[in-house]
Amino acid sequence: MVNSAARPPVSLAERDNTGLAFVAEMYGVQLDQLATLLALTNRQARMLVTRWASRGLADSGVLSPGLPWVWLTRAGLRACGTHYSAAPPALPRLAHLRAVTAVRLALEATAVYADAGAHWRSELRLRARHRGRLGSHDHHPDGEVHWPVAAAVPWAGECWAVEVELTAKTVRRTTAIMRELLARTGDYGCPAAEARITGQPARHARALYVCSPGADGTVARARTSLGSLAGRVEIREVPTSANLPAPSRPTASRRPTASRRPTTPSQTSAPARAAASQTSAST
């Protein structure tokens, strides 16, 4: 999606602060994504999570294909200064949460993001701000990117809404969400009367849609239907690291027949054994 630079190694204390805060804001992350964030190997990331768990700051478990997920306990969330609910990430949302995390990691790894001092505001933080004051039908983006006013980029001072689309909604629903994001003037958590005020600057200068191949056509059609607002919507491809690993497929066994002698393990060729142990990898 974007050109990225390698993440520099960080100190142990910085790993704790960075890692815990990141996990807190993303509902939970898979171990390989935590490793990417902190420039660790998967083994090193696992050891770090074990240390967090021993201190009562985090829990982990296998929730999906691939490596374990990690999320913070109530004590871990308090250590980060947040008041979110302590719970493992919801199973139906795992693919989406991984994709959002992949998009955030890809953006934060770019030199322009780091040099500008931009920061990510998570969906979880946006939801926590309203405290029941937003209507139940108001839409929260998957995240916001805030660019400082003093940043040396043409879009300095802008706030972008980020939407990650893995499965296509209807064009009508997608268009409605785009219009809502682009029309909003107030911050999340403001009184409803201040959310959209005619004549006030838009909160989101643009909406960045990061899409799977199955969703980009719908998003493109929805953008076209916006007319003059279409120029404020950008569409990018979701990074390949966003995909959950495919579940393993059990190998079907063959029954021995009179015309074919059963093959013993010692008679099985190395390529055949390797093929039998492979798992499918679909996106």
**The domain that contains 66 carries what CATH number?**
1.10.10.10
**Chosen domain end from 89, 112, 145:** 89
Owning domain of residue 153:
90-246
Please indicate, yes or no, if residue 103 is contained in any of the structural domains. Answer: yes
* Structure confidence at residue 282 (pLDDT): 36
Domain shared by 94 and 84, yes or no: no
Low-confidence residues in the chain, pLDDT < 50: 1-5, 10, 134-136, 253-283
Domain shared by 63 and 127, yes or no: no
Domain shared by 165 and 53, yes or no: no
Q: What's the rounded Cα separation, in Å, for the pair 35 and 96?
A: 19
Instruction: Give the CA radius of gyration of the chain.
Output: 23
Instruction: Please count the structural domains in the chain.
Output: 2
What is the DSSP-derived secondary structure letter of residue 230?
Answer: G
What sections of 163-246 are H helices per DSSP? Answer: 171-183, 192-195, 216-224
Please indicate, yes or no, if residue 280 is contained in any of the structural domains. Answer: no
Please indicate, yes or no, if residue 162 is contained in any of the structural domains. Answer: yes
**Chosen domain end from 51, 68, 89:** 89
Domain shared by 83 and 96, yes or no: no
Domain shared by 182 and 54, yes or no: no
Query: Are the beta carbons of 162 and 142 closer than 8 angstroms?
Result: yes
Please indicate, yes or no, if residue 212 is contained in any of the structural domains. Answer: yes
* Structure confidence at residue 250 (pLDDT): 57
Domain shared by 103 and 84, yes or no: no
**Chosen domain end from 62, 89, 116:** 89
Query: Are the beta carbons of 59 and 86 closer than 8 angstroms?
Result: no
Query: Are the beta carbons of 172 and 180 closer than 8 angstroms?
Result: no
Domain shared by 145 and 224, yes or no: yes
Domain shared by 232 and 173, yes or no: yes
Domain shared by 76 and 200, yes or no: no
Q: What's the rounded Cα separation, in Å, for the pair 61 and 148?
A: 37
Query: What is 24-90 written as a DSSP string?
Result: HHTS-EEHHHHHHHHT--HHHHHHHHHHHHHTTSEEEE--SSSSPEEEE-HHHHHHTT------PPP
* Structure confidence at residue 256 (pLDDT): 43
Q: What's the rounded Cα separation, in Å, for the pair 68 and 53?
A: 13
If phi > 0 it is left, if psi is from -120 to 50 it is alpha, else beta; for residue 211 that is beta
